[in-house]
Structure 1
Amino acid sequence: MKIDTIVLGAGIVGTSIALNLLERGRSVVLVDRRGPGEETSYGNAGLVERASIYPTAFPRSLKALLDVALGRNPGANYHWNALPGLAPWLFDYWRASAPARILDYARIMDTLLVHTVTEHQRLAAASDAEHFFREGGWLKLYRTADGLAQEREEFPLARRYGLTASEISVDDALELEPFLRPVFTGAAMWSDPHSVSSPGGVTQAYAAHFARSGGRLMRGDALTLARLGSGWSVATEEGSFEAPEAVVALGPWAMDVLRPFGVRLPLQVKRGYHMHYRTEGNAGLSRPVLDEEGGYVITPMLGGIRLTTGVEFARRDAPKTPVQLTATEILARELFPLGDRAEPEPWMGSRPAFPDMLPVIGPAPGQKGLWLAIGHQHLGFTLGPITGRLLADMMDGRTPVVDPAPFAATRF
């Protein structure tokens, strides 16, 4: 079956790309081994993080490094046996986290972030997914004065980019979220982000709209991608599809497909966990709440209150080790009246990340007709729709909505 474009990966990024290409009049097949939004796009805090101009950077102070190394930081965990293979990547990540380079990151990322809410709104309106979305920003809590002082340092840069961030008192925070307990000493309110009650549900709604609009949604194995003359082919449960162009939007599995074609990129993963909880009595939340020094987020979801953990450095396919969930659950119960766990075991996923914390969006080096949209790190759900629009612009030869140069694979 001949079509215009193959898109591999039905997470939020691949689904958004497929929708944008379909809107341009292309025939598109969206291929995944599972249903849409059932992998990494399912397990996150559900933020459309317009305000994330500061990256999740590598610790720079000796104290912060020791806290991670000695297991004193509940937001981080690592497997010893994974560190030798990760060492070069971690060193580049540390270099990219220097203060001057973080300012460069903010400048570059804001070109994408400024479009994130409006692009989600556009796809949500077309996909009957608006009921998943809510305004109200998100609340960051600090247990110590030092933690709040570090947060204040971000405010001037936020204002430079037109963002609304303000320090609020404990009483103000409790007025916003009355079921929190005052185990924190200060708070900051970031008003620009939106959030959703089911990131997997949003992705599924976008994919359903894609299928209703004439797109082909297929189960298949991305590892069957093959060069076919000047184009590409992939096998699905309903037969093979051939196209002049293919897009790899496979998140943590991208390099499994790209390596056989000689594409070498420094993509690694940051694993993370979540669990849903019932609440005690009539307790509830109105927005995501980050316990910065506790290393977790709690957020209201359709499945209950979702607790999401920080970062685990491990081999992608290593068995689960949800020690962060165990540690942060204790802290979360101090803050909020969590009830019983609502699931038999924790969910685990892998965030695909490059050491400079920027995604790759654009052509694959040395492979005509092959395009990449990978490595969105902690911002995959946020950046999915704008990534789809940007890549569709590039593939159609239009003037890109965002300068794509900083996201080129050739930077490595």
Structure 2
Amino acid sequence: MKTDVIVLGAGIVGTSIAHNLAERGRAVALVDRRGPGEETSYGNAGLVERASIYPVAFPRDLSALIEVARGRNPAANYHWDALPGLIPWMYAYWRASAPARILDYARTMSTLLTFSLAEHERMAALAGAAHYFRDGGWLKLYRTEAGIAQERREFPLAHQYGLSAREIGLDEAMALEPALRPIFSHAVLWSDPHSVSSPGGVTQAYAANLKVLGGQVRRGDARTLTRLGSGWWVMTDDGPVEAPEVVVALGPWARDILASFGVKVPLAVKRGYHMHYRTEGNAGLSRPVLDEEGGYVITPMEGGIRLTTGVEFARRDAPKTPVQLEKTEPLARGLFPLGARAEAEPWMGCRPAFPDMLPAIGPIAGRRGMWVAIGHQHLGFTLGPVTGRLIAEMMSGEPTCVDPAPFAPDRF
């Protein structure tokens, strides 16, 4: 099979890229070893987080670092044997988390976030996936005065970018989510984000519409990617596919493929876990709820109430160590009437992340016809469609919706 573009990786980012290219009349083959939305894009809180002006930064407070080191912070875990290899990356991450650089991050990321919801809504309408989406924002809860004080520092910047963050009282929070138990003392309602009941379902719907647009969805191994003359070749279950251009959108596996072509990128992974639960009685949630100091999110999904954990620093392929789930489940049961676990094993996935917390979107210098869209860390689901639009515009020679320069892969 010969096509115009091979897109490697059928998560939300790769699927959105293929969809946007197909909308522009390009012949596209979307290739992944699994089905669309079955890896990293499956296991997240399902937020379209336009309000993420502040990144998930590296702690700079010494007491917070000590809490993590001692294993007392349920939002973070680490493997000792992975730390030596991560030290250079973590040092760069720490530097990028300086207050002045956080403001630079906000200015840069806001350009993409501005389009995040509109691009999801556009693609959802085309794909018949609007039923997965809900508004109502998300609710952040705080158990202490120190916790809410930290959140209040974000309000001025949020308002500067036209975002709605409002501190509300306990009674109003309980009115919004009556099933919660009043074990918290403060709450903030962020009204701008939307959420979905199945991130994997949304990705699969976008992939299904890609086929309607004439795109191909193939099972194949990205590790077979080969330079073929002036183009690219990859083997799939249905035979080889050739194209003059390839987009690597493989998330946490991208570094393996790029390295085989002599391209080095400082990409690490932040592992995370989730579990679905039944509920007791008629209890329910209408939006995601973050227990900030508890280090977890609970959110309503098609499979039940999903509890998602924070960050685990470990080797990508190391065995599961869901200690954060064991720590946060009792906290979540204290907040909400969770019933029995709905799954036998916790799900684990890897968030691909660069130390400056920005994704890499664009062409690889010196590798004609090779493009990347990787490193979206905690915002992959949010930014998938706008990333698809941006890279499709770049590949088609169109004016771009945002300046791609800050996201250039060669910035490293």
Q: Same fold by TM (over 0.5)?
A: yes
| Matching residue's letter, 2:151 | E
**Structure 2 counterpart of 1:406:** 406
**Structure 2 counterpart of 1:17:** 17
Cα distance per residue 1:142-166 (max 9 Å; x no partner)? 0100000110000000000000001
Aligned positions of 1:8-157 closer than 5 A: 8-157=8-157
**Structure 2 counterpart of 1:363:** 363
1:242 aligned onto 2:242: yes
**What is the CA-CA distance between 1:365 and the residue it aligns to?**
2.4
The answer as to whether partners of 1:134 and 1:195 remain within 8 angstroms in 2 is: yes
The answer as to whether partners of 1:137 and 1:189 remain within 8 angstroms in 2 is: yes
Specify the SS of the correspondent of 2:306.
strand
| Structure-1 separation of matches of 2:185 and 2:105 | 30
**What is the CA-CA distance between 1:396 and the residue it aligns to?**
0.6
Aligned positions of 1:165-180 closer than 5 A: 165-180=165-180
**What is the CA-CA distance between 1:214 and the residue it aligns to?**
1.1
| Structure-1 separation of matches of 2:50 and 2:137 | 9
| Structure-2 separation of matches of 1:365 and 1:137 | 40
| Structure-1 separation of matches of 2:230 and 2:320 | 42
The answer as to whether partners of 1:263 and 1:365 remain within 8 angstroms in 2 is: no
Contiguous gaps of at least 5 residues in structure 1: none
| Matching residue's letter, 2:220 | G
| Matching residue's letter, 2:309 | T
Contiguous gaps of at least 5 residues in structure 2: none
**Structure 2 counterpart of 1:199:** 199
Instruction: Return structure 1 stretches of 4+ with deviation > 2 angstroms.
Output: none
The answer as to whether partners of 1:271 and 1:314 remain within 8 angstroms in 2 is: yes
Cα distance per residue 1:108-155 (max 9 Å; x no partner)? 000000000000000000000000000000000001000001100000
Specify the SS of the correspondent of 1:261.
coil
| Structure-2 separation of matches of 1:146 and 1:28 | 51
| Structure-1 separation of matches of 2:180 and 2:131 | 25
Specify the SS of the correspondent of 2:260.
helix
Aligned length: 412
| Structure-1 separation of matches of 2:233 and 2:72 | 49
**Structure 1 counterpart of 2:378:** 378
The answer as to whether partners of 1:41 and 1:380 remain within 8 angstroms in 2 is: yes
| Structure-2 separation of matches of 1:366 and 1:279 | 54
| Matching residue's letter, 2:33 | R
The answer as to whether partners of 1:2 and 1:242 remain within 8 angstroms in 2 is: yes
**Structure 1 counterpart of 2:291:** 291
Q: Share of identical aligned residues, percent?
A: 75
**What is the CA-CA distance between 1:260 and the residue it aligns to?**
1.0
Cα distance per residue 1:18-46 (max 9 Å; x no partner)? 00000000000000000000000000000
| Structure-1 separation of matches of 2:410 and 2:9 | 22
Cα distance per residue 1:342-378 (max 9 Å; x no partner)? 0001000000000000000000122010000000000
Specify the SS of the correspondent of 1:395.
helix
| Matching residue's letter, 1:222 | A
**Structure 1 counterpart of 2:389:** 389
C-alpha root-mean-square deviation of aligned residues, in Å?
A: 0.5
| Matching residue's letter, 1:71 | G
| Structure-2 separation of matches of 1:318 and 1:133 | 34
| Structure-2 separation of matches of 1:17 and 1:79 | 34
**Structure 2 counterpart of 1:300:** 300
1:261 aligned onto 2:292: no
